[in-house]
Structure 1
Amino acid sequence: MENKIVVDSSVSLEHIGSIFEILSKVPEFAEKNAQVTGIEVLPGGLTNYNFKVTVDGVTYAVRVAGPGTNEYLDRPAEKYNAQIMSDIGINAPIIYYDEVYGHQVCKYIDDCKTLHIPDFKENAEYLSKAAKVFRKYHTCGRSFKADFNPLKETYVYINYLKEKNFAVYEGADKMLEKVEEIKAAFDKYPQELAPCHNDPLCENWLDDNKGFYLIDWEYAGNNQPMFDLGALAIEAELSPDQERFLLKEYFGRDITEKEYGLLIINRFLCDALWTYWAVLQIATGKSHDDYWPYGLNRFNRAMELVHNGALGKALAEFK
């Protein structure tokens, strides 16, 4: 019987080849000579390429890792960390993981909704669900394979760009000054670490009305928990009232100004980190047109917290 494959017209021949190569390395597929009948593009992702692939009538999420990402991402650590999250029901079940390049095959969560910014901004229930997921894995009692220190990562990116004599955005000296103030505050008041996702953009959340999932753990590591909440506050474009609601749902009680200030500090730190990351992508050969505007948006948003006094007020709680 002829096997017909339905493929999105936007999927390149290169990616079709990569998908089949990845699937050929999955033992259970190879053993039964599994047949692919569909390939669809999944949304989200700047550095990787994600696809919904149907194999023998079962759907899977296949990630084709971006070229060169294994040079700055710890892929074996991601495999370890993501499996912990799968074990506690937060991440999708992992079928195959390539520890060298970071290609991945997961069970696709059928009949699920991929969330977007309006879902969080317009539905408090999703903020409450996200807060509870954060709380669940932050307090799961497990430890990830490595730490993810945003300050350390930021300095790594900065030093690399200096070595390359690569230009950053005008006013970046002020950003660096604030990064150093945050480092001093955390040196004085060390924050406890917990398993963290570190990149919980809206499209990484899935809802199938039975569970609420957070996927894509490639930046996961032990970090201070508030970084996750600050990152979601940025990605979902939350208002100050929504940020406070998120925190209240996370702690299950009223919050202190110091706790809210910690979210603001981590909002700044998150945007600063990805500002330098974006420029690093350009310095390593990625598209200027794709990454420069992305980084500039991050930079401007971070510096707004400086200009409006929110960061200064937050740091004052740690002096």
Structure 2
Amino acid sequence: MVTDEARAALDAIPMLAGYSGPLERLGGLTNLVFKAGDFCLRIPGKGTEEYINRANEAVAAREAAKAGVSPEVLHVDPGTGMMVTRYIAGAETMSPEKFRTRPGSPARAGEAFRKLHDSGAVFPFRFELFAMIDDYLKVLSTKEVALPAGYHDVVRDAESVRSALAAHPLPIVACHCDPLCENFLDTGERMWIVDWEYSGMNDPLWDLGDLSVEGKFDAAQDEEMIRAYFGGEARPAERGRIVIYKAMCDLLWTLWGLIQLANNNPVDDFRAYADGRFARCKALMETPEFSWHLAAIHRG
């Protein structure tokens, strides 16, 4: 059934119409992704149009390819969300385990982020944490799904984060914003980044904090990524922003998980996903280190 859908999608794309070779299902939490020869086909998942702007994604994917951090975009339909990119041969799709076992991979991810952030690319969307929380809450208000107990209390507590970040804002740059491990493809020499659905102009250190969370990085992996990104030591305020964003990405993606739950996405147990992310967010915000990092950001 799923393969039939992929065949039909391929036949609707002139450059791939009539392709009869093998189709290999690749990873993806919300979308259907297939390898078709030298190409990669992405079919958008059910309900994603509620919270993803496909026209913005199309621009970002092309800009990221121009920046040299993402595969070439060969076809994209902003109306349907269908996308075809060049398949990166010999690259491993990353996971938390692979980030632990592939030597140098955290550094290569840091270098890829640096290349993207320094590229001068301009993405059409502004990824603004607190506005996105409000937007996701609006989506959830139309669905029958319960927020974790105390969610709104933690959002109120996060006003201290908003204040600290606003005191010394960094220039916003083109960011991936959703650095799930599986969105990284590693050749061993170069790290590629794919899937630009949530990308936008953002504080660059969001990407580092979020990847650390998604990859379950330990202190050594964090240090490797940070030093590769900065080309050396990071200032306390920069490290502080990375830690703060570790908590804030969990606060935001808790809501994303609940949207998947409401949309009956079968890929994962999204109730456990959302509850786990929210618990991790609260635990980090309650540590003395979190307050110390907030103070470091305030000092600038």
Q: Same fold (TM over 0.5)?
A: yes
Shift of 1:289: 6.9
Shift of 1:226: 0.5
Shift of 1:71: 2.3
Q: Does 1:49 align with 2:29?
A: no
User: Are the aligned partners of 1:271 and 1:302 in contact in 2 as well (CA < 8 Å)?
Assistant: yes
More deviation, 16-25/215-224: 16-25
* C-alpha distance in structure 2 between counterparts of 1:125 and 1:84, whole Å: 26
Q: Does 1:25 align with 2:8?
A: no
Question: Following superposition of structure 1 onto structure 2, how do residues 1-319 of structure 1 map, counting pairs within 5 Å?
Answer: 13=1, 15-30=2-17, 34-43=18-27, 45-54=28-37, 59-162=38-141, 166-209=145-188, 211-286=190-265, 290-319=269-298
More deviation, 15-24/224-233: 15-24
Shift of 1:234: 0.5
Shift of 1:165: 7.3
Where does residue 8 of structure 1 map in the other structure? Answer: none
User: Are the aligned partners of 2:64 and 2:121 in contact in 1 as well (CA < 8 Å)?
Assistant: no
Change (3 A) 1:165 1:206: closer
Change (3 A) 1:155 1:309: farther
Matched residue SS, 1:47: coil
Per-residue displacement from partner, 1:81-125 (whole Å, max 9, x unpaired)?
Answer: 101111232111212112112121112112221122122224451
User: Are the aligned partners of 1:146 and 1:222 in contact in 2 as well (CA < 8 Å)?
Assistant: yes
More deviation, 107-116/262-271: 107-116
Q: CA RMSD in A?
A: 2.1
Change (3 A) 1:87 1:318: closer
More deviation, 219-228/205-214: 205-214
* C-alpha distance in structure 2 between counterparts of 1:111 and 1:236, whole Å: 21
Query: Which AA in structure 2 matches 1:81?
Result: A
* C-alpha distance in structure 2 between counterparts of 1:218 and 1:167, whole Å: 25
User: Are the aligned partners of 1:151 and 1:269 in contact in 2 as well (CA < 8 Å)?
Assistant: no
User: Identity, % of aligned pairs?
Assistant: 30
User: Are the aligned partners of 1:204 and 1:216 in contact in 2 as well (CA < 8 Å)?
Assistant: yes
The structure with the larger Rg is: 1
Paired positions, count? 298
* C-alpha distance in structure 2 between counterparts of 1:82 and 1:23, whole Å: 20
Which has the bigger relative contact order, CA under 8 A and spacing at least 6? 2
User: Are the aligned partners of 1:69 and 1:101 in contact in 2 as well (CA < 8 Å)?
Assistant: no
User: Are the aligned partners of 2:25 and 2:33 in contact in 1 as well (CA < 8 Å)?
Assistant: yes
Change (3 A) 1:285 1:123: closer
Which structure 1 residue ranges, 4+ long, deviate > 6 Å from structure 2? none
Matched residue SS, 1:62: strand
Shift of 1:309: 2.5
* C-alpha distance in structure 2 between counterparts of 1:224 and 1:151, whole Å: 13
* C-alpha distance in structure 2 between counterparts of 1:138 and 1:48, whole Å: 26
* C-alpha distance in structure 2 between counterparts of 1:290 and 1:220, whole Å: 25
Change (3 A) 1:181 1:288: farther
* C-alpha distance in structure 1 between counterparts of 2:150 and 2:201, whole Å: 31
